[in-house]
Amino acid sequence: MKVYLFCLLLMLTPGGVLGMEFDLMKKQGDVGNTLLVIGGIQGDEPGGFNAAALLATRYRIAKGTLWIVPNLNFASIIKRSRGIHGDMNRKFDFLSKSDPEYHLVEEIKTIITDPQVDLVLNLHDGSGFYRTSYVDRLHNPDRWGQSCIIDQSRLAGVPFGALAEIGQRVTQQANQGLIDPAHRFNLKNTRTRLEDPQMSQTLTFFAIENNKPAFGIEASKSFRTNVRVYYHLLFLEAYMKELGISFRRDFELSPQGVKQALNQDILVALNDHKIQLDISDIRAQLNYVPLKKGAKLEFDSDNPLVAVLPYRNKYRIHYGNNRMGFLRPQYFEYDDSLDSVRVTVDGLSREFEMGSIVSVEKSFLVDTPPGYRVNIIGFTRKGVRNEKGLRVRKKDIISRYSIDKGGKIFRVEVYRNDKFAGMLLIDFRAVQQKVKLLARTNLEDGHELKGFPAH
């Protein structure tokens, strides 16, 4: 586990490692209660873990504290499996030390029982629609979708121990946002202690046993991911209200707004940020990606659900359950002598850090100090080997060389002799941001991390 503190409302996340550990992301406002939100205990429930990731990346907290573990079972998320080592949500009473997930379960238990935590939410996607009496195959008491789950009606002697009351209140509040009355949520009390010994192996029951109020939220698997996420967020906001946590989010809470938030500006940086890709609309494969000879690929993202992992002789980019595309490498020595490049964008000249994604409307021109060579991928001019100092428009570049399926984002690579010095992307899509760049931040625990400048 790696712990990241959010300072200055920056979004921070891990890089490097295979990404199979989970993240604990802390967002702190003024003094107040602490809500722990856990997503991804099962790897095939994207509504829950995407909601947790949006909470971590797109919300600012003014009062109170959020602790978010958006990717508890990250290895299973990447593999699109409920659990590559069995169901993690049945490992919370007894677990053998030889279980491959033993340390993950121990770590999350430590977080759940932390004295600062006031209330715990475990986010799931469940089948069908929970109803208190049998309606049909999809709507009945054995279904889990569209329910708020408690293990017992109250937990004595702790704040927020009135589980049934709180559950009713947040369910009612979430039901104000239903897209269709048929989607309504109901409170489900599993009466774990008395009636359901199976459920005593779950994360929420472990929390209850340790005097931490805990709830499960289940969005229905009948819906597309963005709708599930929308419903989870209705609940998350209702719980924040319940705990007096005040927040702002930077997108509209609607199924469409959530869809956009999930699919925009998903950035990943490679190899010390010499390369940065917007993977939202990336092609199935990018060829001749200049990776570092003899070194392990390092990646970094502002999104805790992103990973870039070796796959045969390529790398595959993962985003939650989605497999975004492959990188086919060409290996180079790297040259570290150039931190930035001068680009004239639509007539205006400016210095851009390596890795920048530069929005351009009409034309651009890349300049470098003497000794460097510029290669605009998909652009050729007869007899010209170094493309520095040339004014280039979109129509001068062959669109199938773009990194995106839309044919609008192009690679500009800089070399010094035979060494790769870094890449910029030129983005011809509608201009919203002039430049996108994952920032770097050093945190207390010594990890070098990167954040995303405020939107």
Question: In the bound complex, what is the minimum distance in angstroms from residue 144's beta carbon to Zn ion?
Answer: 8
C-beta of 148 vs 277, nearer to Zn ion: 148
Question: In the bound complex, what is the minimum distance in angstroms from residue 335's beta carbon to Zn ion?
Answer: 48
Question: In the bound complex, what is the minimum distance in angstroms from residue 45's beta carbon to Zn ion?
Answer: 5
Determine, following the binding rule CB under 5 A, whether residue 220 of this chain makes contact with Zn ion.
no
* Binding residues among 381-420 for Zn ion as defined by CB under 5 A: none
Amino acid letter for position 93: D
By CB under 5 A, the count of residues binding Zn ion is 3
Tokens of 305: 């659900």
C-beta of 205 vs 410, nearer to Zn ion: 205
* Binding residues among 13-52 for Zn ion as defined by CB under 5 A: 42, 45
Question: In the bound complex, what is the minimum distance in angstroms from residue 51's beta carbon to Zn ion?
Answer: 13
Tokens of 173: 């509040």
Question: In the bound complex, what is the minimum distance in angstroms from residue 303's beta carbon to Zn ion?
Answer: 22
Question: In the bound complex, what is the minimum distance in angstroms from residue 101's beta carbon to Zn ion?
Answer: 15
CB 312 within 8 A of CB 293: no
Candidates 117-125, 197-205, 320-328, 392-400: pick the segment binding Zn ion (CB under 5 A).
Answer: 117-125
C-beta of 90 vs 323, nearer to Zn ion: 90
Question: In the bound complex, what is the minimum distance in angstroms from residue 124's beta carbon to Zn ion?
Answer: 3
C-beta of 85 vs 241, nearer to Zn ion: 85
C-beta of 124 vs 274, nearer to Zn ion: 124
Query: Among 34, 25, 33, 27, which Cα is nearest to 72's?
Result: 25
C-beta of 125 vs 278, nearer to Zn ion: 125
Give the per-residue contact string, 65-104, with Zn ion (x = CB under 5 A; - = no): ----------------------------------------
C-beta of 124 vs 416, nearer to Zn ion: 124
Question: In the bound complex, what is the minimum distance in angstroms from residue 161's beta carbon to Zn ion?
Answer: 24
Question: In the bound complex, what is the minimum distance in angstroms from residue 78's beta carbon to Zn ion?
Answer: 17
Determine, following the binding rule CB under 5 A, whether residue 232 of this chain makes contact with Zn ion.
no
The dihedrals phi and psi of 56, each to the nearest 5 degrees, come to: -75, -30
Query: Among 230, 240, 222, which Cα is nearest to 63's?
Result: 240
Candidates 119-127, 250-258, 261-269, 302-310: pick the segment binding Zn ion (CB under 5 A).
Answer: 119-127
Determine, following the binding rule CB under 5 A, whether residue 124 of this chain makes contact with Zn ion.
yes
C-beta of 204 vs 303, nearer to Zn ion: 204
C-beta of 42 vs 359, nearer to Zn ion: 42
Question: In the bound complex, what is the minimum distance in angstroms from residue 391's beta carbon to Zn ion?
Answer: 55
Q: 3-class secondary structure for the chain?
A: CEEEEECCCCCEECECCCCCCCEEEEEECEEEEEEEEECCCCCCCHHHHHHHHHHHHHEEEEEEEEEEECCCCHHHHHCCCCCECECHHHCCCCCCCCCCCHHHHHHHHHHHCCCCCCEEEEEEEECCEECCCCCCCCEECCCCCCEEEECCCCCCCCCCCCHHHHHHHHHHHHHCCCCCHHHCCEEEECCHHHHCHHHHHCHHHHHHHCCCCEEEEEEECCCCHHHHHHHHHHHHHHHHHHCCCEEEECCCCCHHHHHHHHHCCCEEEECCCCEEEECCCECCEEEEEEEECCCCCCEEECCCCEEEEEECCEEEEEECCEEEEEEEEEEECECCCCCEEEEEECCEEEEEECCCEEECCCEEEEECCCCEEEEECCCCCCCCCCCCCCCEEHHHCCHHHCCECCCCEEEEEEEECCEEEEEEEEECCCCCCCEECCEEEECCCCCEEEECCCC
**266 φψ region: left (φ > 0), alpha (ψ -120 to 50), beta (else):** beta
C-beta of 127 vs 380, nearer to Zn ion: 127
Candidates 121-129, 152-160, 189-197, 228-236: pick the segment binding Zn ion (CB under 5 A).
Answer: 121-129
Candidates 104-112, 122-130, 289-297, 404-412: pick the segment binding Zn ion (CB under 5 A).
Answer: 122-130
C-beta of 124 vs 283, nearer to Zn ion: 124
Q: Which residue is at the shortest CB distance from Zn ion?
A: 124
* Residue carrying structure tokens 């000249």: 349
Question: In the bound complex, what is the minimum distance in angstroms from residue 332's beta carbon to Zn ion?
Answer: 44
CB 292 within 8 A of CB 334: yes
Residues forming contacts to Zn ion in the complex (CB under 5 A) are 42, 45, 124
